[in-house]
Structure 1
């Protein structure tokens, strides 16, 4: 395992971690959650189909996944300061295009631009910074970072809702673009490393590259495992409202339960710290897959009472929170921290695309299987397969 190429200590390191975490809250809140909150209002004011609006947003997420390959390489080669600062500027510009769009085509184009920004400023970029900066000490900073990111919806969903009551949706997105630029551009420029120190030429471990890693069976087994886990967890938990209503809960109670699943992710990110990190790298992955299979199976077969269903959902949310950090550590655990950005960009792209499709996968599988409970059972089976393939990672 490679040593950290940046391992600064003291207040400056804690300050940089705090700044990066604040940047994640603002970037996730504006470049991701704002559209989820505003989509119905956009449809109401413009008359554009809601499906087309969400499809434009999803297209941006796919662009983000693909652009993440290039962003990871740039982060390795040039350091994070310029890449993430430019990403913030591009994101603000994309939101301006979205706000001023006269039609759906321009609106979608704006989200494609935002997708480029997401690749440069959201979790995958921040994970590269943390991994390169802290090396083997990365687990606690990763947890801190994702705990902060988990509050993005808590902070920005009500802010966006208030803005939409006071302004039209176009003015709301112009305000959000200004906030994104005003906070994250100076934050990234002032606190991120300009470049990474040169790696030690006498380092005892081999230097892995994207081309060498993607030719290995281990890489592809890890890819398959994480895609299966992501599809299983996200498809089932994002469809929690119809699943709970199918079991007799009211819409209001089911919506509250969905929110508690989100809160469970915070718990899971804390529990990530107690996962066995000193063992073979496949063990944390297999453990999370097994827990996912168990909790999703319980969601499928347990008929009630409501409090028990909600509790199972919170546990499923905790597993999903741990999955985010297991994925963040997967590349460094196996191939070291050198060239992490490049390798992780290639690794994360298919997973991000799969995650972008899961809001549609869950209902589609439920329609084919006959119920959302049957869909949850199928996803539990998929997670079980992932637990089996994890052994080969």
Structure 2
């Protein structure tokens, strides 16, 4: 394994960073995201607050995370992950305490707004930036795959743990216990595990261009293929110009629409199967096996990067999300629906890795944090809106069958838009390495 910048981290340092993020991102998603749907009914019944208000408060936190994605990305580009991710863990802990003890709606909603600030600093986007900037191109996909495989278990671990705590403690004390877990695991892990010299954007910008590059950087250049140099360096690399370009706007639109479809399926799969007369336990089994499918999909991603170019790969993954959503809409038996749920999970599991590699494969790594923050914003917004959107479409169209077919149509649109998402020099090219 070769570090992306050998003067910054050793091989053992890279392993430490990856192990740290596998643990902390899993815990962060489990505590700050997946615990909420488990506790939702209990919070509503105990407080008397409507589920509409509760989900709106939760969505507000996700929306703030989207807004903060760009400034967090800029900070990461300049300073690295250690301080901001540690701070995010501290803020997340305080937010959960406020949520747990909030005596009224305004304070409860405020707690989720604070939690949104933490999400921006501890979820996938900052972790993706960290691995992308520290790992070389040849090892980057493997590292990102390992991270998403680990974090894909967040719901598997924390949904039943949250249910167990709820049964014995009630929802408020459950959140206090989860806050303690978040603090005990992620605060010291981020501070200890993410130390090391950060490869600044200036280092990436001069990569392969001669001039004032340091001797260590020039030695590194000699060990990289010419294709690596072309992939990491773009002729029009100013981030503001990139973010206004048609390929970037198409990419953000396509991934945002696909995120809307994928998360609407997750939230509405159980009520859809219940509408067709299946038990809650059977529907929950299908949802859980969909999570298993996500792991399968992520294991397949490295092979997919070797055999497809960036535009084809993007279109195939987004089309798979659309088609599996349509299957869920038309199939009616338990066996076929479970199979379709697994297939949908495989497609859905590829999307985070597609997002993680989208910027570096098109525009290099020099401004990865900032551009990924901008790319993540519409994804996080649609993720926040998806629970409401799926149920609203079902009400409008008279049932979940029509709703899932409509969602599949949105996915088809996303696939078509994605065909415009590759810069001309990248369209159809299989990446090197």
Please tell me the TM-score bracket, short chain as reference.
over 0.9
Change (3 A) 1:320 1:86: same
Q: Does 1:30 align with 2:31?
A: yes
Q: Is the 8 A contact 2:14 2:134 kept in 1?
A: no
**Gaps (5+ residues) in structure 1?**
none
Q: Is the 8 A contact 2:270 2:283 kept in 1?
A: yes
- Tell me the distance in 2 between the aligned counterparts of 1:309 and 1:280: 32
Q: Aligned-residue CA RMSD in angstroms? A: 1.9
**Gaps (5+ residues) in structure 2?**
210-232, 422-433
Q: Runs of 4+ in structure 1 displaced over 6 angstroms?
A: none
**For residue 4 of structure 1, what is the aligned residue in structure 2?**
4
Q: Does 1:54 align with 2:24?
A: no
Q: What secondary structure does 1:392 align onto?
A: coil
**After the TM superposition, which residues 117-266 of structure 1 pair with which residues of structure 2 at under 5 Å, given as runs?**
117-136=118-137, 137-198=139-200, 199=203, 201-204=206-209, 205-206=233-234, 208-266=237-295
User: Can you list the C-alpha shifts for 1:333-354, whole angstroms capped at 9, x where unaligned?
Assistant: 1111111111100111011101
- Tell me the distance in 2 between the aligned counterparts of 1:47 and 1:297: 37
How far the C-alpha of 1:212 sits from its partner, in A, is 1.6
- Tell me the distance in 2 between the aligned counterparts of 1:325 and 1:158: 26
- Tell me the distance in 2 between the aligned counterparts of 1:116 and 1:35: 16
How far the C-alpha of 1:195 sits from its partner, in A, is 4.5
Q: Is the 8 A contact 1:225 1:390 kept in 2?
A: yes
**After the TM superposition, which residues 1-393 of structure 1 pair with which residues of structure 2 at under 5 Å, given as runs?**
4-5=4-5, 8-136=9-137, 137-198=139-200, 199=203, 201-204=206-209, 205-206=233-234, 208-277=237-306, 279-304=308-333, 306-393=334-421
How far the C-alpha of 1:133 sits from its partner, in A, is 1.2
Q: What secondary structure does 2:103 align onto?
A: coil
Tell me which moved more, 269-278 or 284-293.
269-278
User: Can you list the C-alpha shifts for 1:18-54, whole angstroms capped at 9, x where unaligned?
Assistant: 1111111211111112222222222222222222122
Change (3 A) 1:302 1:190: same
Q: Is the 8 A contact 2:132 2:140 kept in 1?
A: yes
How far the C-alpha of 1:221 sits from its partner, in A, is 0.9
Q: Is the 8 A contact 1:89 1:185 kept in 2?
A: yes
Q: What secondary structure does 2:174 align onto?
A: helix
Q: Is the 8 A contact 1:4 1:337 kept in 2?
A: no
Q: Under a length normalisation based on structure 2, what TM-score does the superposition of the two structures give?
A: 0.85
Q: Is the 8 A contact 1:237 1:316 kept in 2?
A: no
- Tell me the distance in 2 between the aligned counterparts of 1:245 and 1:184: 38
Change (3 A) 1:265 1:252: same
- Tell me the distance in 2 between the aligned counterparts of 1:142 and 1:378: 32
User: Can you list the C-alpha shifts for 1:351-370, whole angstroms capped at 9, x where unaligned?
Assistant: 11011111111121122222
The aligned length equals: 390
How far the C-alpha of 1:9 sits from its partner, in A, is 4.9
